[in-house]
């Protein structure tokens, strides 16, 4: 199993870690820590050394109530960082964006993968990714970041997320995205209650059965806070536990802030999954 990322391939026969690099002043857990090019590069270097196969650069905070930056602001945050990482590090570079302008400029700067929390609802964003021959990660989200947690409702959260992802994958292929260049993400915490998150996690293997490789992102999220009672700064153990469970249930990419610990966890989870398959 491999993911085609423009000019390179990412092996997914074993799960890999996507390291989070927020270059924003207001992200929920690390806003402002990496919003200079040098600070961002040093953090990216540390994540790659710790085992990250992908570095995910985000210039827009998607926490509820966050201020949406202008296109110019997002470009100014993201493009210089992508250029430096592409020049100095050996890693797949992802951009966490929903804007076609950022897709085009980011790929021109060296990005390989577009991670869109809005699931490429904007056809222009999907067209820009196809034009750049980029890989894509399609996420499910009910609503928009500023209102998604007000009253999320599903009749069947697993079935609805599964149906949505299948439909968006078909749209991506029709737009020119190669079938072997697609990841999907059920979108934990994006327009979902705790009960929805837990239901999705319990049935991850249903989502891995008929869809492209699955990305799971739960690092430091409110899901972990609800389960442990811990504030954001104290959610490492809970995040790592879910990372291991995700790998054991078939996730191929785990998105995380704490790369070294998560890399250990996904290897343990993958080993358990393999042992179960051999039993």
Task: Write the DSSP symbol of residue 217.
Answer: E
- DSSP per residue, 157-179: HHHHHHHHHHHHHHHHHHTT--G
Residue 83 C-beta-side C-alpha neighbours within 13 Å = 12
- Cα–Cα distance measured from residue 166 to residue 17, given in angstroms and rounded to the nearest whole number: 24
Positive or negative torsion for Cα 208, 263, 97, 220: positive
What amino acid positions are annotated as catalytic residues? Answer: 221, 255
DSSP SS3 for 94: strand
Cα–Cα distances (Å) from 138 to 121, 173, 181, 255, 272, in that order, read 10, 12, 11, 14, 27
Ranges of beta strands (E only) in 68-226 are 92-96, 113-116, 135-139, 182-185, 215-217
């Amino acid at each position: 199993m491999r993911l085609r990322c423009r000019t390179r391939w990412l092996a997914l026969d074993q799960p890999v870690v996507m390291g989070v690099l927020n270059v924003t002043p207001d992200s929920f857990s690390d806003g402002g820590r990496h919003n200079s090019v040098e600070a961002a590069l040093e953090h990216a270097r540390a994540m790659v050394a710790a085992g990250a196969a992908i570095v995910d650069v985000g210039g827009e905070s998607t926490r509820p109530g966050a201020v949406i930056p202008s296109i110019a602001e997002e470009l100014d945050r993201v493009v210089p960082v992508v250029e430096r990482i592409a020049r100095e590090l050996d890693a797949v570079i992802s951009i966490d964006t929903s804007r076609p302008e950022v897709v085009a400029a980011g790929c021109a700067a060296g990005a390989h993968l577009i991670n869109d929390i809005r699931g490429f609802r904007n056809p222009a964003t999907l067209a820009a990714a196809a034009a750049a021959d980029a890989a894509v990660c399609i996420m499910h989200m009910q609503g928009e970041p500023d209102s998604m947690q007000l009253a999320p409702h599903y009749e069947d959260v697993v079935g609805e997320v599964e149906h949505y992802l299948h439909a968006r994958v078909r749209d991506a292929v029709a737009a020119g995205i190669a079938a072997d260049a697609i990841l999907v993400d059920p979108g934990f915490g994006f327009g979902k209650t705790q009960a929805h998150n837990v239901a999705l996690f319990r049935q991850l293997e249903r989502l891995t059965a008929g869809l492209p490789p699955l990305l799971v992102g739960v690092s430091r999220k409110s899901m972990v806070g609800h389960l442990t009672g811990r504030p954001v700064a104290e959610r490492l153990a809970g995040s790592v536990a879910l990372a291991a469970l995700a790998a054991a249930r078939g996730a191929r990419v785990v998105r995380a802030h704490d790369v070294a610990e998560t890399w250990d966890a996904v290897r343990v989870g993958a080993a358990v999954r393999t042992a179960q398959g051999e039993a």
